[in-house]
């Protein structure tokens, strides 16, 4: 029994290594992933009209967006690949719907503690976005992206029963900080 378990673990590790080598280190995304009633969240999600030309809906995703206590979850990812480089730029938008505002406040705090209060060194970026509803909680964290000129930013917002997370890997060429600001405004305006 132990030998069979060890072989299964070894096979999974080998498969993961092969996928990493074959994918040349790229992140894989799943387009439009939903859990629970997450498909009802689709009108609130990022879409191609929110982004400059050249961005497209990603085909694969690397993880399942799940948070304890949610009643519905939706995830959409858009990517942009620079011709001739290995840089993969992306925006990952997740909405977590909780059964109550109290549960959402707890979910926001948990996500904030995990994502915003990180251990990576911060990299200042000039964003002007603020939620339209002054009662919303909002915070952001940016660090260096896949190259020194790039950025990786996480934005977390709580809005009633919703907790929203936007992850952005951008370079100020294919997508600028001002354009990320505009994406945040558009997504905020869709919230009920």
Is 69 among the domain residues?
yes
pLDDT tens digit sequence for 80-136: 655 544 567 888 888 989 999 999 999 999 989 988 876 688 888 989 999 999 999
Mean pLDDT of 138-160: 89
| 104: CATH | 3.40.1000.70
Is 1 among the domain residues?
no
Structural domains in the chain (count): 1
Is 21 among the domain residues?
no
Is 97 among the domain residues?
yes
Is 9 among the domain residues?
no
Q: Can you give the residue range of the structural domain that contains 143? A: 28-190
pTM over 0.95: no
- Nearest-CA neighbor of 90 among 187, 192, 183, 186? 183
- Alpha carbon 67 to its chain centroid, in Å, reads 13
Is 129 among the domain residues?
yes
């Amino acid at each position: 029994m132990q030998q069979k378990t060890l072989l299964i673990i070894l096979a999974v590790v080998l498969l993961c290594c092969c996928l990493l080598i074959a994918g040349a280190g790229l992140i894989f995304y799943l387009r439009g992933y939903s859990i629970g009633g997450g498909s009802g969240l689709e009108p609130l999600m990022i879409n191609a009209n929110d982004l400059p030309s050249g961005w497209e809906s990603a085909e694969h995703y690397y993880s399942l967006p799940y948070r304890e206590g949610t009643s519905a979850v939706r995830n959409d990812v858009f990517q942009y690949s620079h011709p001739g480089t290995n840089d993969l730029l992306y925006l990952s938008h997740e909405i977590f719907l909780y059964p109550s505002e109290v549960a959402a406040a707890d979910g926001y705090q948990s996500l904030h503690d995990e994502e915003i209060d990180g251990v990576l060194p911060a990299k200042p970026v000039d964003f002007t976005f603020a939620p339209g509803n002054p009662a919303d909680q909002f915070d952001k964290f940016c660090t260096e992206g896949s190259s020194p000129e790039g950025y990786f930013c996480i934005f977390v917002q709580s809005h009633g029963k919703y907790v929203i997370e936007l992850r952005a890997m951008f370079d100020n060429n294919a997508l600028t900080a001002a354009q990320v600001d505009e994406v945040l405004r558009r997504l905020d305006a869709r919230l009920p």
